[in-house]
Amino acid sequence: MNVEIISIGDELLIGQVINTNASWMATELNLSGFNVIKITTISDEKRSIINSIDDAFKKADIVLMTGGLGPTNDDITKYTLCDYFNSNLIFNQKSYDNIVRLFGSRGFPITELNRKQAEVPDNCKVIINNNGTAPGMWFDRGEKVLISMPGVPFEMKPMMTEYIIPELTKNNTSKIVHKTILTTGTGESFLADLIKDWEAALPQHIKLAYLPHPGVVRLRLSAYGFDKTILEEEIETHVHKLNKLIPDLIFGFNDDTLQSVIGKLLKDKNKTLATAESCTGGYIAHLITSVPGSSEYYKGSVISYSNEVKKDILKVSEETLNNYGAVSEQCVIEMAKGVIALLKTDYAIAISGIAGPDGGSDEKPVGTTWVAIANGTEVSTKKFLLGNERSRNIERASIAALNQLRKVL
């Protein structure tokens, strides 16, 4: 089934807001087996809305619209749809009750403008908005469908996942099963080369997509068929084969992150972690502490952005700094040992590098980064040569360091 998404809003056309709604919707629709053929972004203007609907109905079976449903005068989607589908506005008690519930919980009075939000065209199905005052509207037009939703992501998303997608797929006997495999440690093209025979052996009804991010490549397998259980088994078989092929590169599945996987490993082993960061300046700590409950295993960090802090607090020796410099294997070993002793943890990550844009030399160009992973008795190290761009270097160095710890764990 072909879908067109129409995003309405002047804020999208002046670049003030990035259209993340459309890509979120496209992802969800794609995962449920719909084919998004076009995304159109237009202004809050009657003629534009009508022209876009006419165009969309020429090719699409389903038209999904967001935006223009607010209470103020510049929001005209509802009135335009009312005209387009030759309807009259009627008061909808359920929508009004919903507004009363939302406002009551915040102690706000209900104005005439809010009351008008409970009016809907008389020939649409009303979709209750649990997180806002504007209801969604579902219009049938022969075999085709147009659905209008608010543009606020927090209101639109539950409408899509809880009602619209389930309704649209109700009579659909075909099934799709997805699994995402998370890899780190090599780039997209090298990974593709490593797994090309496995990929070529996938059956026709199982598709592979590469989803690259800085430092992480996600592989999404999608199996199409009619029996969910069989599809799930098939996916597991192929994942199992892939796991045998590149065991070192796979760190998790679906919604896992490197930091959540490390958190789980540390919790399971009942071990604690500290970090000593130089070039990443707290970003590793930020990733680790972005996981709820991380205080169970993460004790803290010393961010040593100056040599003095490396010496005075982490006890890196003067000789090391003079002879090898702050970006050296010797220095990260001493940083790791220093922070493990200071914070009394089982494991430590230490990192030092040149994030850029300045500070590079011929011997140590911008992007040179050393990582050490220590436990009570041993230290392992690794050198990375990253790129020229400061913010990407910080991100990639942090991912590389977390992955080193994961391997040790």
Q: Could you say whether residue 277 binds a copy of itself (CB under 8 A)?
A: yes
Least distance to a copy of itself, CB of residue 188, Å? 13
190-249 residues in contact with a copy of itself (CB under 8 A) are 209, 211
Say if residues 157 and 165 touch (Cβ distance below 8 Å): no
Contact segment (CB under 8 A) with a copy of itself among 20-28, 61-69, 82-90, 243-251 equals 20-28
x-marked contacts with a copy of itself along 77-96 as a string, rule CB under 8 A: --------------------
Provide the 3-class DSSP secondary structure of residue 28: helix
Q: Which residue has the tokens 């040790």?
A: 408
Among 43, 186, 317, 380, binds a copy of itself (CB under 8 A): 43
Q: Which is nearer to a copy of itself, 24 or 123 (CB)?
A: 24
Please work out, in degrees rounded to the nearest 5, the angle formed at the alpha carbon of residue 214 by the alpha carbons of 208 and 215.
85
Q: Which residue has the tokens 């309704």?
A: 167
Least distance to a copy of itself, CB of residue 93, Å? 30
- Cβ contacts of residue 289 below 8 Å, gap of 6+? 295, 298
Q: Could you say whether residue 368 binds a copy of itself (CB under 8 A)?
A: no
x-marked contacts with a copy of itself along 327-366 as a string, rule CB under 8 A: ---------------xxx----------xxxx--------
- Cβ contacts of residue 176 below 8 Å, gap of 6+? 31, 32, 33, 222, 223, 224, 231
Among 102, 303, 408, 409, binds a copy of itself (CB under 8 A): 303
Least distance to a copy of itself, CB of residue 354, Å? 11
Token pair belonging to 15 = 């670049």
Q: Could you say whether residue 302 binds a copy of itself (CB under 8 A)?
A: yes
Q: Which is nearer to a copy of itself, 175 or 390 (CB)?
A: 390
How is 44-100 classified by DSSP, letter by letter? Answer: S-HHHHHHHHHHHHHH-SEEEEE---SSSTT--HHHHHHHHTT--EEE-HHHHHHHH
Among 76, 313, 341, 408, binds a copy of itself (CB under 8 A): 313
> Closest Cα to residue 212, out of 184, 238, 235, 240?
184
Q: Which is nearer to a copy of itself, 3 or 147 (CB)?
A: 3
Q: How many residues bind a copy of itself (CB under 8 A)?
A: 69
Distances (CA, A) of 334 to 71, 327, 337, 352, 392: 62, 12, 5, 11, 26
Least distance to a copy of itself, CB of residue 81, Å? 19
Tell me the β-bridge partners of 213: 216
Least distance to a copy of itself, CB of residue 363, Å? 19
Q: Could you say whether residue 285 binds a copy of itself (CB under 8 A)?
A: yes
| Distance from C-alpha of 136 to C-alpha of 28, rounded to nearest angstrom | 18
Distances (CA, A) of 364 to 172, 213, 360: 59, 26, 6
Among 40, 129, 328, 404, binds a copy of itself (CB under 8 A): 40
Q: Could you say whether residue 281 binds a copy of itself (CB under 8 A)?
A: yes
Token pair belonging to 247 = 């065991």
Q: Could you say whether residue 30 binds a copy of itself (CB under 8 A)?
A: yes
Contact segment (CB under 8 A) with a copy of itself among 38-46, 93-101, 118-126, 376-384 equals 38-46
| Distance from C-alpha of 117 to C-alpha of 115, rounded to nearest angstrom | 5
Token pair belonging to 103 = 């406002």
Q: Which residues bind a copy of itself (CB under 8 A)?
A: 12-20, 22-30, 36-43, 48, 55, 209, 211, 275, 277, 280-286, 288-290, 292-295, 298-306, 308-309, 312-313, 342-344, 355-358, 390-391, 394
